[in-house]
Structure 1
Amino acid sequence: MSKENTGKAFDLKLIKRLVAYTKPYKATYYFVVISAILLAFLAVARPYMLKTAVNDYITDSDEKGLLLICALMLGVLLVEVTMQWAYNFYANLLAQDLIKDIRIKLFQHMLRFKMKYYDKSSVGVLVTRTVQDMERIGEIFSNGFFQIISDFLKIFVIAAVMLFSSWKLTLIVFSILPIILYATYLFQKAMKKAFVEVRREVSNLNSFVQERITGMKILQIFTREKEEYKQFKAINERHKKSWVATVWYNSIFLAVIELVSSATIGLVVWFGGLDAVKNGATIGDIFMFIQLTQMLFRPLRQIADKFNGLQMGMVAAGRVFAILDTESSIDNKGTLEASEIKGAISFDKVHFGYTEKEEVLHGISFDVHVGETVAIVGATGAGKSTIINLLNRFYEIQSGEIKIDNTNIDDFTLTSLRSNIAIVLQDVFLFADSILNNITLKNEEIKEEDVIAAAKDIGVHDFINTLPGGYHYNVKERGTMLSSGQRQLIAFLRAYVSNPSILILDEATSSVDSYSEMLIQEATEKITEGRTSIVIAHRLATIKKASKILVMDSGTIVESGTHEELLEKENGYYRNLYEVQFMAEERRVS
C-alpha cells in the first residue's frame, strides 16, 4: 500500500486486469465496444450529408432532393441519438457490475488479513479504497477507456473524409494539429502529477475525519477542539489546493483548444472562400469542413477530459490492486476440522513479537487441562493479551508450538479453530444493529429463543427486557446507547450462545457500576462452568476461584500456582501484586 502509483493513463497491466473482470458480462462488454465503433462512423455522416445538400440540392434549387436529404439527416440523427443513449446506459451498467465485483473481492480479501495488517493501516485510507476509489475505477469504463477509443477512431474517420474531399483544406487543419497535440501532452503530464496528489490528499482527509469522529470523546475531554480544528483546516486547505491545480490546468487547456479551434475554422473559411471564388471550389466543402473541424477538435478536447477520469481511475485501480496483491493472510493450510475439541491447551517455548526486533513473549510454556480455569495476572504490557491473540491465530508465532488437545493449532482449519474459541474482550465492540444481531452476528443457526434461554441462564435477560424493543433494541454505532457494563454483558452473552469449547475472558470492570459488576461476576461463573477458560483477571474473586494462576512479567511467566500457594512465597511477584492491588479490594468487599 505504501508504493505510490504513478497514474499512467494507459497502464496496460492494469487495463488487462480490469478487462478480466468483464468476462461474466461479455454480451454487455461487446455491445459497448461495437457501439463505440459505430458512433465514430455515424458522427461524420451528417456533415457529409450537409455537403451533399448544399452542393447538389440548395445550389440547384432541388426542393424534393433537399427534403429527402434532410429526412435522411434526421433519420441518421435519431439513430445516432438512440445508439448514444444505449452506449451510455450499458457502459455505466458494465462499470457498476465491475466495481461491485471488485469491491466484493476486495472486502473478502480484507476479511482474511492478519491483525498485524490492521495494526499498521489507517481505517480511513482503507475506507477510501473500498468506497471512493471503486467509483473512480468505474469511470474507466463508464466515461474513459471506451470513449477514448471511440474518440480516436472518430478522429481517424474525420481525417479520412477530409482528405478524400479536399487535401488543401485538410492540410490547413492538419498544420494546426501539432499545436493541439503538444498542448494535450503538456496537459496530461501536469494532470498526472496533480491527480496523484489529489488521491493522496483525499485519503489523508478521510483518515483524519474518521479518526477524529471516532475519538471525539477524547478530544472533548481534553479540550483539544481548537487544535484539531486548526489541523483540519490545514489538511482541508491542502485538499483544496490539490483540486485547484487540476482546475487550473483544465482552464488553461480548454482556453487554448477553443482559441486554436476558432483560428482554424477562420483559416478554413478564408482559404476555402478564396478557392471557391478563384477556382470554383464548392461551398458545400466549406460547410462540411467547418463542422468536421469542430468535430475533430472536440474529440481532442474530450479525450483530454476523459484522460482525467482515466488517470484518476488508474491511480485508484493501482491502489486497490495493491491491497488485493498484499499477502497478509494467516497461513490456512490446516486440514483438520476441530469438531470435537475438549479444550486442553499447551504452550511450549513460544516466542513472539509484533515486530521482528521487539519480542513480546520470551519462550513461555504452560498447560491448561480440560475444564480448568486459568487466571493470568501481571502488569500492563506483560504479554497477557498476546496469549489470547496467539491462541486464536490472529498472529503467527516466531518459534515454539501451541497445541489444543495435543494437536498443533496450525493443523486445524482457521474457521473450525476459531469457532471453538469464544472471547470476551475488555473493549467490547458492538455494531450499529439490534442486540439480537450483535449476539448472533446473524448466524442463522442461532435462533432468538436460544438467545433468550442463554440470557436467562447467565442472568442478563431482565436487563435486556428493560430496553425499548428488548432484544431488537438498536445499540447504534459501537454500542453507544449502552453503558460499558451493559456492553460487556452483551459480549458475555455473545460468547455463551456460541457454546465454545474454550473461553477467553478479559473481564475488566473498572468503569462499570456495582450492579453491572455483580451481573458480570455471575455471568463469569456461569459461562466458565464446565469448560476450559483463560481469564485475564482483574478481580480478586475470579483469581481466587481459578484452578491455576499464571503470573506474567515482561513476556515471561515468573510464577504459577493457586492463590494460596503463591501467597506463601516470600517476596513473590504475586504476593507483592496482591498486597498492592488486591488487598484494598478485599477490604472493600468485606
Structure 2
Amino acid sequence: MRKGFIYSILRKNLSLLLSIILLSLMVAFINIYFRNMERYLIDFVLAKNLEGFKRVFLTVLLISIVRIFLEYVKAFNLGKFAEKYMNELRLDIGKKLTKVNLEFIEKRATGDFISNLSNDLSLIQNFLNSSLGDIFYQPFVFIFGVILAFQISWKLTLFTFVIIPICIYLSIIISKPVEKYTKKQQDEYGNVNTLVQDTLSGITVIKAFNLKSEMVSLFDEKIKRAFKEGLRSARFEVILDPMKEIISLSPFIMMFLFGGRLVISGEISVGGIMAFIGLINIFIAPMNVLPNIINSYRKAKAALERIWEILSTEEERSGIINEYDPDCPYVVEFENVSFSYDGADYILKDVSFKIKKGEKVAIVGESGGGKSTIVKLILGLYKPTKGHIKVLGIDINEWNLSSLRGRISVANQDVYLFPESVEENIRYGNYNVDNKKIEEVSKKVLAYDFIISDLGGFDKEIGERALKISGGERQRIALARFLLKEADIFIMDEATSALDSDTEAQIQETLFEELKDKTLIVIAHRYSSIKFVDRILVIEDGKIVEDGTHEYLLKKKGVYYKLYSKQLGEVELGV
C-alpha cells in the first residue's frame, strides 16, 4: 500500500480528529479521577467522616454530569468523522473509476468493484466506528491509571504489570495471520460477486440452455473457497478469546496474592485497595480490546490495500489543447497505426486512412477485425501502440480528452441506460436543451411513440439495467441521446443492430439528413444500410485492405464483394 493506513485517516478532517483526541483525554482523566474519589469515599466512610463524605460525593455527582456530556460529544464527533471519511473514500473511488484507463476497467471483473464497495468498505467502517475511538481513549486512560496506581502503591503496581508485556506480545503474534486470511477471503468473495453479476447478465442464456446445475456447481465451488478462507480466519479469531481470559484474570490473581498482604501490613488503606481493584478493570480494558483493535486494524488494512489498487492506478493521460482549427481539412487521420491490447497480438496492423470534414464513412469487416478498436482509439480510450492519430487536425496525445470527447457523439451496439428517467438518459447528450427538443429528437429516431405508450412518458424511471425495455427500444433511446449532442464527429458502432430492417432504414435516412453537414463514421452490421455513404473502409486481419464507394468495391469483386454477397446473396447483387 503506497500510504500508511493511519496516515490516510489522519490527513482527512484533521480538526475533527483533534477534537476527538482532546475529548478522549478529558474523559480518560475524569474516569481515573473517579477511582481516586472512590478511595476517599471508602476511607471517609470507614473513618465516619460525614463532612468529607458529602464533599466528595457532591464532587463526583457534578463531574458525572460533565462526563456524560463529554462522552456524548466524543461519540458524536467520532461518528461524524467516520461517516465523512467513508463518504470521501467512496467519492475518491467513484472519481478514480471515471479517470482510470479503460484497460483497467475492462480487465477487472465487475464483482471485484462490488466487493470493494461493500465488503472492504464495511471492514474499514467497522474499524473507524468501533476501534478508532479505543485507539485514542485507551492509551490516555491507561497512562492516567498508572500514575494513580503508583500513588496508591508502587509495589502493587509493578507486581501487577509483570505479565502485561508478555500478554500484549502474544496478542500481536496470534492476530497477525488474520490479515492474510481476511484478504484471501475478500478476494474469494469478489469472485463470488463476479459470478453473481455474470448470472444476472446471462440469465436468459442460462435458462435457455438449462445451465442451472452448472451455475449452482460454480456457486458451490466459489463459496466453498471463500468459506475455507473464512474458516482459517475464524480459527485464529477464536484463539483470541481464551487469551483475553488469561489477560483478564492474571492481574486479579496477583492482586489477591500480594495486595492483601499490603493491607494487613498497613502499607495501603482499604479505600486504596478498593480503588486499585477499579484501576485493574481499567488496565484490563486496554489489554482486552487490544487484540480486537489489532484484529480490526489488520482486516481494515487488508481491505484498504485492495481499494488502493484502484486509487493508485494510473489515470488517463490527457493533453492541454481544448480548441481546434475549424478549417482543418481532415477530422480523423490514422498514420501507420498498430494496436495491441496485450502487447503481443496486434488487433490493428499499420492502418492508415483519412476522413474529410463532412464525409460519411463506413467501416466494415468480419467480427474481431478491429472496427470497434478504431472507435476507441478515436475517443482516446486507448493510445496507439505504434503510429500517430490526429482528430480534428490535432495529435490525439495533445488533446484534452474531455474537450475531445465533447466534440464526438457515439452510439454503441451495447447500450447502457442509467436507472433514471427516460428524459434524463436522453438529456445526457446535451444538458442545455429544453423538453421540446428532447421530444423532437425522440420522434426523429422513432422512439417517441413507445416512450409515451409503452413506458408511460419521458419522466418514467427506466430502472436498474433497463430489463423491461427491449434491445431495439434501448438503441432508439440511445440514438436520441446521440443525435441530441452538438458534436463535430458522429460515430455509430453497430448502433442499429437490434432494429428490424425497415425501422433501421427509416432512422438512418433521418440521421443522414440531420447530419448532412457533419462527419459520420458508421461501423456497419448490415451492408445494405451503407450503400449511400461516401466511402467504405474494409478491414481484414487488422489491415485496411480496400477503400472506395459501394459501387466501386462491388465491381472490384474483392473482400467487400465477398462480405456483401455472403450477407445478401447473389439475387441482391443481380448476378
Give the TM-score taking structure 1 as reference length: 0.90
Please list the CA deviations of residues 174-202 of structure 1 after superposition, one character each: whole Å capped at 9, or x if unmatched: 12324422331223223333333333333
How far, CA to CA, are the matches of 2:90 and 2:125 in structure 1?
Answer: 11
Q: Which residue of 2 aligns with 1:466?
A: 453
Structure 2 unaligned runs (5+)? none
**What are the within-5 Å matches in structure 2 for residues 480-495 of structure 1?**
480-495=467-482
Q: Does the 8 Å contact 1:458/1:523 carry over to 2?
A: yes
Q: Which residue of 2 aligns with 1:199?
A: 186
1:337 aligns with 2:328: no
Q: Which residue of 1 aligns with 2:564?
A: 578
SS of residue in 1 equivalent to 2:521: strand
**Deviation, structure 1 residue 313:** 2.3
Q: Which residue of 2 aligns with 1:78?
A: 65
**Deviation, structure 1 residue 280:** 6.4
The 10-residue stretch of structure 1 (209-218 or 111-120) with the greater mean CA deviation from structure 2: 209-218
SS of residue in 1 equivalent to 2:420: coil
**Deviation, structure 1 residue 474:** 2.2
Q: Does the 8 Å contact 1:334/1:410 carry over to 2?
A: no
Please list the CA deviations of residues 56-98 of structure 1 after superposition, one character each: whole Å capped at 9, or x if unmatched: x111122343233233223333322322221111011012112
**Deviation, structure 1 residue 543:** 2.1
1:17 aligns with 2:8: yes
Q: Which residue of 2 aligns with 1:8?
A: none
Q: Which residue of 1 aligns with 2:107?
A: 120
Count of residue pairs brought into register by the alignment: 573
Pick from 76, 79, 83: which aligns with 1:92? 79
How far, CA to CA, are the matches of 1:205 and 1:300 in structure 2?
Answer: 37
Q: Does the 8 Å contact 1:37/1:150 carry over to 2?
A: yes
Pick from 529, 547, 554: which aligns with 2:541? 554
Q: AA paired with 1:84? A: E
Q: Which residue of 2 aligns with 1:536?
A: 523
How far, CA to CA, are the matches of 1:341 and 1:253 in structure 2?
Answer: 74
Q: Does the 8 Å contact 1:435/1:472 carry over to 2?
A: yes
Q: Does the 8 Å contact 1:341/1:405 carry over to 2?
A: no
Structure 1 unaligned runs (5+)? 6-10
1:69 aligns with 2:69: no
The 10-residue stretch of structure 1 (495-504 or 128-137) with the greater mean CA deviation from structure 2: 128-137
Q: AA paired with 2:175? A: Q
| Structure-2 change in CA distance of 1:295 and 1:423 (3 Å) | same
Q: AA paired with 2:416? A: F
**What are the within-5 Å matches in structure 2 for residues 320-335 of structure 1?**
320-329=307-316, 331-335=317-321
Q: Does the 8 Å contact 2:413/2:497 carry over to 1?
A: no
1:37 aligns with 2:25: yes
The 10-residue stretch of structure 1 (275-284 or 113-122) with the greater mean CA deviation from structure 2: 275-284
**Deviation, structure 1 residue 396:** 0.3
SS of residue in 1 equivalent to 2:388: strand
How far, CA to CA, are the matches of 1:94 and 1:549 in structure 2?
Answer: 59
| Structure-2 change in CA distance of 1:255 and 1:339 (3 Å) | farther
How far, CA to CA, are the matches of 2:571 and 2:281 in structure 1?
Answer: 86
Q: AA paired with 2:442? A: A
SS of residue in 2 equivalent to 1:472: coil
**Deviation, structure 1 residue 479:** 2.3
SS of residue in 1 equivalent to 2:210: coil
How far, CA to CA, are the matches of 1:147 and 1:487 in structure 2?
Answer: 52
Please list the CA deviations of residues 511-537 of structure 1 after superposition, one character each: whole Å capped at 9, or x if unmatched: 444564455444444454332111112
Matched residues, percent identical?
Answer: 27
**What are the within-5 Å matches in structure 2 for residues 209-228 of structure 1?**
209-228=196-215
Q: AA paired with 1:14? A: F
Q: Does the 8 Å contact 1:502/1:533 carry over to 2?
A: yes
1:272 aligns with 2:259: yes
Q: AA paired with 2:29? A: F
**Deviation, structure 1 residue 395:** 0.4
How far, CA to CA, are the matches of 1:271 and 1:183 in structure 2?
Answer: 25
1:51 aligns with 2:39: yes
**What are the within-5 Å matches in structure 2 for residues 221-240 of structure 1?**
221-240=208-227
The 10-residue stretch of structure 1 (488-497 or 215-224) with the greater mean CA deviation from structure 2: 215-224
How far, CA to CA, are the matches of 1:131 and 1:443 in structure 2?
Answer: 33
**What are the within-5 Å matches in structure 2 for residues 396-411 of structure 1?**
396-411=383-398
Give the TM-score taking structure 2 as reference length: 0.92
Q: Does the 8 Å contact 1:457/1:526 carry over to 2?
A: no
**Deviation, structure 1 residue 510:** 5.3
